[in-house]
Amino acid sequence: MESDKWVVCCDGGTVSMIDLKNNGAVSKRPIQADAAIMNPSVSVLAVRSGQQLQVFNLDLKAKMNSFAMSETVVFWRWISQKSLAIVTSGAVYHWDCVEADAKPFKGE
CATH top class, domain 6-106: mainly beta
- First and final C-alpha spacing in the chain: 26
**pLDDT tens profile 77-94:** 999 999 999 999 999 999
- Is 21:5 a contact under the CB 8 Å cutoff? yes
- Is 92:107 a contact under the CB 8 Å cutoff? yes
For the chain, what are the domain ranges?
Answer: 6-106
Residue 67 bridge partners (DSSP) = 53
What's residue 40's pLDDT? Answer: 87
**Long-range contacts of residues 41-45, Cβ cutoff 8 Å, at least 24 apart:** 41/3, 41/81, 42/81, 44/98, 45/8, 45/15, 45/17
What's residue 2's pLDDT? Answer: 63
Separation CA 86–CA 96 (nearest Å): 11
Task: Assign 4 a pLDDT band (cuts: 50, 70, 90).
Answer: confident
- Is 87:73 a contact under the CB 8 Å cutoff? yes
* DSSP designation for 69: -
| This prediction's pTM | 0.90
Average pLDDT, integer, range 20-34 = 90
